[in-house]
Amino acid sequence: MKEAIDLFVINKVRAKRLELNISQAELAYEINVSVGFIGKTESSRYPTHYNIKHLNLLAKALKCSPQDFLPKKPL
């Protein structure tokens, strides 16, 4: 099961990805992971989640700050 912080980050990344109309495959290519990794991360059925390195790469790919994916206060 994913932790609350993981779900928060994953939802923020997914929202930004959809806002920019970027597919899971395109995002996977940009951050050098498999499409399956993105799919498993966005699915509630797998424990897969992003790490700090991923957040940096995601921010570059989605043209934002890594802070955009994090809550203002601890969860």
CATH of the domain at 40: 1.10.260.40
**pLDDT of 1:** 86
The whole model's pTM is what? 0.95
Position 75 in a domain? no
Examine residue 74 and state whether it is found in any structural domain, yes or no: no
Least Cα distance to 68 among 52, 26, 32, 59 occurs for: 59
Q: Which H or E element spans position 26?
A: helix 24-31
Looking at residue 6, its pLDDT comes to 97
Mean pLDDT of each 10-residue bin along the chain, 75 residues long: 96 98 98 97 96 98 98 97
Q: Indicate whether 14 belongs to any domain.
A: yes
Residue 58: the pLDDT is 98
Boundaries of domain holding 19:
4-67
Name the residue among 73, 74, 37, 72 with its Cα closest to residue 53: 37
Instruction: Give domain status of residue 9, yes or no.
Output: yes
Answer whether residue 32 is part of any domain. Answer: yes
Roughly how many angstroms between the first and final C-alpha of the chain, as a whole number?
16
Q: How many domains is the chain partitioned into structurally?
A: 1
pLDDT computed for residue 12 by the predictor: 98
